[in-house]
Amino acid sequence: MIYNIRHATKVKYASPIAHALFNLRLIPWNWAGQTFRNFRLTITPQPSEREDHDGPYCVNTTRIAFRETLSEFDFLSEFEVEVDAPADPGDGPSVQLVRDDALEMLDISVLSPAPYLFASRIAQSDDEIRRWASGHFLPDIPIVKSARALMKAVHDEFTYKPGSTTSATSPSEAFGLRKGVCQDFAHVMIIALRSHGIPAAYASGYLRTNPPPGRPRLVGADAMHAWVNVWCGKDLGWVGFDPTNDCLARFDHIQIGMGRDYADVAPIDGTFVGTAPQQMKTAVDVIEGS
C-alpha cells in the first residue's frame, strides 16, 4: 500500500515571541515494513538554524531556532510511504512469559522492551487504572488476546470526544472522565499494560483519510494519531494496538515515531520568551497513491 502524506500546521501568537527554539518530530523514523520517499519539511519563515538528529527514542528530532521575533510560523511535512502490513500476530506467548522475557533481554536499545517498562513523565503509574485492567492480565492468557481485550475495554468504555481533554489533562484525569482523544486512550492503555509488567510504548503517526470501499472512516484521521505498541515477547516483538479504533495497526497506520509517552514524540515543543500560542491549526491528508 502506498500513501501520500501532507501534514500542515500553522502556529499563531498573540504577541511576538523571542528566542524561539523548537523541536519538531515529524520526520518518519526508519521502521521495518515502511519505506519512506521524498520527505520534505518546509518551515516558514525560514529558521535561522536547523539541525536534525536521531533519538533519543524511536524518533527523529528537528531542532530549529529563530533569531528574529516571531508572531506566527508554519510547517509542512510531505512524503510518500509504502506500507507492508505486518503479518497477523496470532495469540502470542503467555502474559507471564512476556513479563519474564522482558526482564531477561540483554539489550537497552530504543527497540528493546526495558525502556518501556516503567512509568514515564506523562504515563505515571495509577492504581485505579491498574485495578480496572487487572482482569485482562491473568498469567496464562496469551498476550495478544490480553492486549486485544484491554484495547476493546478502552474503546467500549471511553467516549471519543475532542475538546473534552487538553494536553494538560493527565491520563488519570482522562480515566476518571472516561472521555478523551487518541492520546488519552493510548496513555491509559500504556499505564494499564506497564502496571502489569508488560512493556508498552506510545506510537505516533497517521491514519489513512479515506477508508477502503465498504469500511467506515477511521476516527482521528484528520490530525496526527496515537496508538500503543505492545511488546509481545522475543519472537513477536512490537505489535501495534489502536484503542481509538479497536483494531491492530496494520494497513491503515503509518508510524512516525515511538517513545515512552507523548512527550518523547510530541510533534512540537520548545522554549521561547513570550506567552503560549493563541492558535494552532493543523490539517492532515493521507491519500492512497499508486
Strand-pairing partners, residue 18, are 273
Residue type, 126: D
Q: Are 61 and 23 in contact (CB under 8 A)?
A: yes
Q: Which is nearer to another protein, 81 or 192 (CB)?
A: 192
56 binds another protein (CB under 8 A): yes
Q: Which is nearer to another protein, 63 or 152 (CB)?
A: 63
Residues 183-202 that bind another protein (CB under 8 A): 183, 195-197
- Residue 228: name the closest of 209, 215, 244 by CA: 244
Strand-pairing partners, residue 24, are 62, 268
Work out which of 28, 86, 142, 220 binds another protein, going by CB under 8 A. 220
63 binds another protein (CB under 8 A): yes
Q: CA separation (Å) from 242 to 82, 185, 237?
A: 20, 9, 16
All cell numbers assigned to 153: 475495554
Q: Which is nearer to another protein, 273 or 287 (CB)?
A: 273
Cell 516558514 maps to which residue? 44
Work out which of 81, 98, 110, 228 binds another protein, going by CB under 8 A. 110
All cell numbers assigned to 136: 485482562
Binding site residues, another protein, CB under 8 A: 9, 11, 18-19, 21-23, 55-57, 63, 99-100, 102-108, 110, 112, 114-115, 117-119, 121, 125, 127, 130, 137, 162, 166-168, 181-183, 195-197, 204, 219-226, 262-263, 266-277, 279-280, 282, 284
